[in-house]
Amino acid sequence: MIAEIIAAGSEMLTPHRQDTNSLFLTSELNSLGVTVAFKTIVGDNLDHLTGAASVALSRADIVIFSGGLGPTEDDLTREAAASALGLPLIRQPELLTQLAERFAKRSFVMTPNNAKQADILEGAEILPNVNGSAVGQFLATTRPGEPGTRRIVILLPGPPRELKPLFTDECRPRLANILPPSYIAKRVLRMALLPESQVDSRTAPIYKQYPDVETTILAHAGEIQLHFQAAAATLAEAQARVNELAGKIEHEMDEAVFSAQGESLEEVVLLMLGLRHLTLATAESCTGGLLAQRLTAIPGSSRYFLGGAVVYSDALKTTFADVPAELISTQGPVSEPVARSLAEGIRARTKASIGVAITGIAGPTPGAGPDAAKPIGLIYIGLADDRGTQVTELNLMGDRDRIRWWASQHALELIRKSLI
């Protein structure tokens, strides 16, 4: 079954407010075996909201509205749903009484416009809202002309502190009783530093053979993620389909896949260090400790990551990593020989199994002295271990933040590949 979520509220069409309810609802629906196929945000306009509701009701098995159930003129969800469904709104006297009592307890006078909160779709169940004045509504009906096809319509208040418990306590049990048994299984494969087009060209011939598995390719900063999702009558069946496809993709992409269960690159690097009983130390110039920060964000990293030095100035490259001052003055701090010396120096100073160094020009201003003619984005990464030292030269594009992040990503991937 598929669902559509309609979030009502003009404020979510501005830069100042985001629709977070749909994330919660998607997670809940997925756990019930329901795929969310559409999400729509609609402003406080009756025609627009009615149109969006009509479209949703024509294509989704479950339509959930969030927001627009308050007492003001711009709260129009009830009216739009009623119009799209062709159903009347019935004012419920007992709800009017409850609203009046709610206001009286707070020593407020209930104004006439609050009465619209007692309007309920004909045939809908009232979902009590202990955290607010707007009740929810749950309607199980059939499509016009399709008597054998069940359609579920849910109206929920917009504030998350009201919507979440109302869905969990009232909607989820009802859906569990109505929906056929279904389970969704998911997997994520992650690859670093590959173009999205290259990954797709190699994997599309494989995943196209699995139309029952939804495959999504996402490009992040320095990595590509392949998300797989399948629904089936049992979790084992759904997981088997996802695992079968993921296994074939892993075989095709081979060592390019750094994570088969969604782990981050830094998590994988630390895991590999642990399995090999190795330690790591870093010397960073242009990244200013970003590589160390990413590693130390992982709990337990201190067992394998000894620490690092931010050797931003030329003097500290010599003081902390024993890089000869003459080498810096003749070759420039952004150079292959300095990256090599940094990696070897920090490894020797810390007695780490592996020493990694990053030096470069992140911009926005160019280098100075011996580096004056070198382009912004020029990065050198050095890695020293008991087999020797290797240095990778990069020419990265983008602003300062992008260059620094990609440099740290390249460093992590260099470490991972050295450990394979």
Picking from 36, 35, 32, the residue whose alpha carbon sits closest to that of residue 179 is 32
Other residues' Cβ atoms within 10 Å of the Cβ of residue 1 = 19
Residues ≥6 apart with Cβ < 8 Å to 252? 202, 203, 206
Q: What is the DSSP string of 250-295?
A: HHHHGGGEEESSS--HHHHHHHHHHHTT--EEEEESTTTTHHHHHH
pLDDT, residue 150, reads 78
Pair of tokens at residue 219: 């490009």
- Rounded to 10 deg, the angle between the 314-321 and 336-350 helix axes is 40
What pLDDT shows up at residue 145? 58
What was the pLDDT predicted at 144?
54
Burial class (CB in 10 A: 0-12, 13-18, 19+), 107: exposed
Q: What does the pLDDT read at residue 117? A: 94
Domains within the chain, CATH numbers bracketed: 2-178 (3.40.980.10), 185-259 (3.30.70.2860), 265-419 (3.90.950.20)
Residue 212, pLDDT score? 95
Token look-up 């019930």 returns 32
Could you list the mean pLDDT of each consecutive 10-residue stretch along the chain, which spans 420 residues? 96 93 97 95 97 96 96 95 96 92 86 92 96 95 64 96 97 94 94 96 97 95 95 95 98 96 95 98 98 97 96 96 96 97 98 98 91 95 98 97 97 97
Per-residue pLDDT, 149 = 63
The structure's pTM equals 0.82
Specify whether the CB–CB gap between 188 and 261 falls below 8 A: yes
DSSP secondary structure letter of residue 44: S
Rounded distance between C-alpha atoms, residue 127 and residue 155, angstroms = 9
What count of other Cβ atoms lies within 10 Å of the Cβ of residue 242?
24
DSSP, residue by residue, 92-123: -HHHHHHHHHHHHHTT-PPPGGGGGGGEEETT
119: region left, alpha or beta (phi > 0 left; psi from -120 to 50 alpha): beta
> Which amino acid, residue 203?
T
